[in-house]
């Protein structure tokens, strides 16, 4: 309605009357458009009156998200979500999702870069998934702040693998079952956190010499049968003979390992190896050695269970680089005196 030269909006929300000024010296049509805009803002809760937008705390959203995801998500993915959400909870915890801004995510990013830079990218992806899920399920109304945060640039440098001498030092620094856990990566190409630690006795056939990676724990979701290397076979036999647990790798109390982070760091330090050597380097070692022995790239792909052949090509590149380095080292060997004289006096 118009009062003097000023157009106003008169609206009732939940039984309460609200009056807003739209503008002065404007036409009826402009006033109508402004009224429509203000009504929309009120209904969205953006005008400070009317219905408040739906909101939920991070912790509650995370709990609901994990519970809903368990029914149709692979165990490996759920474990990843839990790990990421636990790290995110240290920053966001009881905050409402509406309070999580790009600025706060950048603060979390700054902290995580000093601790685990690559992990931040996984956490950002999980946070984005969580907020989108909350929006889809009408638990939260608002924009996803993750869209405005850039990932940490990941190194595309050479893959870290163990030289034979480094392997010997590392395994010598390990007690059981860590030694055999790492051997499962070096000699079978198992992904240690998601595959090796979940091996059960029924998955290992020592008599026929193979092990089974169950699809529920495999990255590609497929159940695969892998041949056992003699060294790994012997190590598994010794380990399984002293345990009655259904799991292959267990702690002293009989419970299975769910992480080897701390005991691996201790062994790595004892072996005098750098922080670039991670449990996943065992799998890199497996693939690079197959390449060094002349194994064709398709066989490496099948044994390592990579979905994309391009992931395997990097190990072929490592092999070629090592060959070049070996040839180049020949020039470091000094020529005999007789040949040196020939070169000087052709």
Q: What is the pLDDT of residues 141-163, one digit of tens each?
A: 888 999 999 988 765 545 688 88
Residue, of 81 and 2, whose pLDDT is higher? 81
Q: Check residue 186 and give its pLDDT.
A: 94
Give the model's pLDDT for residue 28: 86
Residues 165-179, mean pLDDT to the nearest whole number: 93
CB 323 within 8 A of CB 294: no
Q: Is the pLDDT of residue 293 over 70?
A: yes
Long-range contacts of 214-222 (CB under 8 A, 24+ apart): 216/74, 216/75, 216/76, 217/75, 217/76, 218/76, 218/194, 218/305, 219/76, 219/191, 219/194, 219/305, 220/305, 220/307, 221/74, 222/305
Question: Crossing angle of helices 297-304/309-329, nearest 10°?
Answer: 120
Task: Report percent pLDDT > 70 for the chain.
Answer: 84
> Looking at residue 339, what is its pLDDT?
47
Question: At CA 315, angle to CA 313 and CA 318, rounded to 5?
Answer: 115
Calculate the average pLDDT of the chain. Answer: 84
Q: How far apart are CA 188 and CA 215, in angstroms?
A: 16
Identify the sign of the CA torsion 283, 286, 288, 291: negative
- pLDDT band with cut points at 50, 70 and 90 for residue 114: low
Percent of the chain whose predicted confidence (pLDDT) is above 90 = 40
Phi, psi of 67 (to 5 degrees): -60, -40
* Contact present, 83 and 126 (Cβ < 8 Å): no
Q: How far apart are CA 152 and CA 123, in angstroms?
A: 11
The Cα–Cα gap between 6 and 40 comes to 21
The residue behind tokens 């929300």 is: 13
pLDDT value at 312 more than 90? no
Q: For residue 71, is pLDDT > 70?
A: yes
Higher pLDDT, 35 or 126: 126
Distance CA 119, CA 114 (A): 11
Predicted pLDDT of residue 160: 81
pLDDT higher than 90, residue 62: yes
Long-range pairs for 113-119: beta carbons < 8 A, 24 or more residues apart: 113/152, 117/152, 117/154, 118/152, 118/154, 119/84, 119/87
Q: Please give the pLDDT value at position 329.
A: 53
- Select the more confidently predicted residue: 334 or 261: 261
Query: Which residue would you say has higher pLDDT here, 24 or 43?
Result: 24
Tokens for 272, please give them: 């005098």
Query: Which of 44-48, 176-180, 212-216, 298-302 is the most confident on average?
Result: 176-180
Q: What domains, with CATH codes, occur in the chain?
A: 2-44 (no CATH), 58-148 (1.10.150.130), 164-328 (1.10.443.10)
């Amino acid at each position: 309605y118009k009062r003097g030269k000023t157009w106003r909006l008169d609206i009732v929300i939940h039984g309460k009357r609200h009056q807003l000024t739209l503008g002065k010296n404007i036409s009826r049509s402009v006033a109508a458009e402004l009224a429509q805009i203000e009504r929309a803002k009120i209904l969205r809760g953006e005008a400070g009156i009317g219905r408040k937008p739906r909101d939920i705390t991070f912790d509650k959203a995370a709990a609901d998200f994990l519970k809903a995801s368990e029914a149709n998500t692979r165990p490996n993915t759920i474990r990843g979500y839990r790990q990421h959400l636990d790290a995110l909870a240290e920053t966001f915890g009881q905050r409402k999702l509406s309070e999580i801004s790009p600025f706060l995510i950048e603060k979390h990013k700054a902290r995580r870069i000093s601790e685990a830079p690559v992990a931040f990218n996984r956490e950002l992806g999980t946070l984005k998934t969580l907020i989108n899920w909350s929006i889809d399920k009408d638990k939260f109304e608002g924009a996803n702040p993750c869209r405005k945060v850039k990932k940490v640039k990941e190194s595309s440098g050479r893959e870290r693998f163990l030289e034979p001498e480094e392997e010997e030092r590392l395994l010598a620094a390990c007690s059981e079952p860590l030694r055999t856990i790492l051997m499962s990566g070096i000699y079978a190409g198992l992904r240690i956190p998601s595959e090796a630690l979940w091996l059960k006795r029924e998955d290992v056939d020592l008599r026929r010499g193979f092990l089974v990676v169950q699809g529920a724990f495999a990255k590609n979701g497929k159940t695969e049968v892998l041949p056992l290397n003699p060294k790994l076979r012997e190590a598994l036999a010794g380990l399984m003979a002293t345990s009655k647990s259904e799991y292959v790798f267990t702690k002293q109390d009989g419970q299975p390992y769910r992480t080897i982070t701390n005991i691996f760091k201790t062994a790595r330090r004892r072996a005098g190896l750098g922080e670039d050597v991670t449990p996943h380097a065992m799998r890199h070692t497996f693939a690079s050695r197959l390449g060094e022995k002349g194994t064709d790239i398709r066989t490496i792909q099948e044994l390592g269970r990579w979905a994309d052949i391009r992931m395997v090509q990097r190990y072929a590149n490592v092999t070629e680089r090592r060959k070049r380095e070996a040839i180049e080292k020949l020039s470091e060997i000094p020529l005999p005196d007789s040949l040196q004289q020939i070169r000087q006096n052709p």
